[in-house]
Amino acid sequence: MEADTKKIQASVNPSWIDTGSGYQKTTLDNGIRVITEEIPYLRSVSIGVWVITGSRDEQPHENGICHFIEHLLFKGTEKRTAFEIAKEIDSVGGTLNAFTGREYTCFYAKVIDKNLALAIDLLSDIFLHSVMGGKDIEKERMVILQEIKMVEDTPDDYIHDLFNQACWRDHPLGFPIYGTSELVQSFDRDKLYHFFKENYPPDRIIVCAAGNLKHQEVVHQIDATFGQIPKSAKPTERSKPDPNAATHSLKRDLEQVHFCLGTRGLPYNHSLRFTSYVLNTILGGGMSSRLFQEIRENRGLAYSVYSYLPTYIDTGLVVVYAGTNESSFREVIELVLKEFDRLKNEPLKHEELETAKEQLKGNLLLSLESSDNLMTRLAKNEIYFKTYLPVGMILKGIDQVEEETVQRLARDIFDERFFCLTVLGPMNGDDLDQIRWEGKKRNQPAPKAGTQR
């Protein structure tokens, strides 16, 4: 192992405790990064094996293969059956799970601190020694096919996949993470095994752990297992997408019309990210947000309405979701557009700005009480910033957001020429042409993608 183990000593502000004082990072000889944050007062430890490979790294004929592999690694190893894996983690009251994202895949465990060695052993075993047997592949194929049907039968989930497909078109960011039924049925062991060996190399692996632990002990245990992976490097080649301005509808016999209305946003590590957090919080990021208060509380037009920020290494979006009756669909759309215009044209009230900041800071500080959130934060800092961002820096960044900056960002991103609308439910597609911004968009030349700031 390299001797350049790094440690950050953070100053402590009286108003908060920066747990970054326990941050340490070591790079193994084969390129795997081991990052820990020691929190002595916690009884739990969360540890995750993060691989910087996700659905956007798939070719069209491979869509869903990362998700399939994530499922398959839990189905048995050279020394444990799937039942034995489940039984061992259950016997200590722990959690062992995984998830696939668009830019990474994570295999993680959460246990009481004294059982950390067991968690590392289980994670190492499933990642390094999975059998990927033929019978297990067929059983898990059926499970994933049922998962796809479940999502497609859940309109408030499915609409987001439809929106991504419309917004990103043929770019891998628009692929559904779980793939399609046709593609899932086409994957055999050779395809799965080859993709795993080619796209999960050591230089893309980050092992993160947070809780009551000792860094060198974690490094030693990880080196004894993951350190055995031969050193190799396959460059991550990702094309930058441009969001597509479009309107797409899928008619379905439902009780509600579900829609996503989105526009271009910022990449994960953009210098204006704190401004975008504040803007999103004001727009639809909580129960006191403008959309929730106006559409649900004041008018009773929707049960669920919110905004969110899908962000990636090189691009991002701002998306509003709502589910409403067919008769009130256009009214809800108009109310969303009205809030876009207000953010662009009306100065924020100081109280509203400060409330949004306090909400963001409170959410962040509360999340630090959970070892799994701390572990996730370590991983995302490394993936997107290549370093650790102290909590104090985040709080300061939020505090420094000014109302003029929020308004300038709103004017930049809430441009009708960039709007993408996806609708699912009992809605006539021809009626969508009557939405007021659609005609404007068709009559204006589309600007070049990207924003100058």
Q: Which residues pair with 251 in a beta bridge?
A: 425
Cβ atoms of 217 and 36 within 8 Å: the answer is no
Catalytic amino acids?
70
Is 453 contained in some domain?
Answer: no
424 and 311 part of one domain: yes
Q: Total structural domains in the chain?
A: 2
Mean pLDDT, rounded, for 241-252: 90
* pTM as predicted: 0.90
- Residue 450: inside a domain, yes or no? no
Residue 417 inside a domain? The answer is: yes
- Give me the half-sphere count of Cα atoms (radius 13 Å) on the Cβ side of residue 155: 22
Residue 132's closest CA among 198, 82, 201, 207? 82
Mean pLDDT of 100-124: 98
Residues 257 and 213 in one domain: no
214 and 277 assigned to the same domain: no
Three-state SS at 247: strand
CATH classification of the domain holding 339: 3.30.830.10
Q: What is the mean pLDDT of residues 393-404?
A: 97
C-alpha torsion sign, points 396, 398, 403, 404: positive
CB 144 within 8 A of CB 71: yes
**Are 323 and 256 part of one and the same domain?**
yes
**Residue 67 backbone dihedrals phi, psi, to 5 degrees:** -65, -40
Q: Is residue 7 part of a domain?
A: no
Instruction: Report helix, strand or coil for 259.
Output: strand
Does residue 11 sit within a domain? Answer: no
- Structure tokens belonging to residue 211: 């809780």
Residue 447 pLDDT class (50, 70, 90 cuts)? very low
- Which of 110, 300, 127 is closest to 213 using CA atoms? 110
**Same domain? 157 vs 202:** yes
Q: Residue 443 has what pLDDT? A: 38
Q: Is the same domain home to 281 and 370?
A: yes
**Do β-strands 44-51 and 95-100 pair in parallel, antiparallel, or remain unpaired?**
unpaired
Secondary structure string (H, E, C) spanning 309-343: CCECCCCEEEEEEEEECHHHHHHHHHHHHHHHHHH
| Statement to judge: residues 267 and 397 lie in one domain | yes
How far is residue 304's CA from residue 96's CA, in Å, rounded to a whole number?
Answer: 31
Can you tell me the distance from the alpha carbon of 22 to that of 36, in angstroms, rounded to the nearest whole number? 8
**Residue 11: pLDDT over 60:** no
Do 145 and 255 belong together in one domain?
A: no
Task: Say if 119 falls within a structural domain.
Answer: yes
Shared-domain flag, residues 292 and 353:
yes
Rounded Cα–Cα distance for residues 356 and 398 (Å): 9
Range of the domain at 418: 247-442
Shared domain for 334 and 422, answered yes or no, is yes
Q: What integer best gives the mean pLDDT of the chain?
A: 91
Sign of CA dihedral 218, 230, 60, 137: negative
- 3-state class of 346 per DSSP? coil
Contact present, 27 and 2 (Cβ < 8 Å): yes
Does 447 map to a domain?
Answer: no
Query: Is there a single domain that holds both residue 319 and residue 215?
Result: no
Given 196, 228, 260, which residue is the final one in a domain? 228
Residue 237 is predicted with a pLDDT of 82
Lowest mean pLDDT among 7-11, 206-210, 291-295: 7-11
| 278 shares its domain with 215 | no
pLDDT confidence band for 431 (50 / 70 / 90): low
| 242 falls within a domain | no
Pairing of strands 420-425, 247-251: parallel
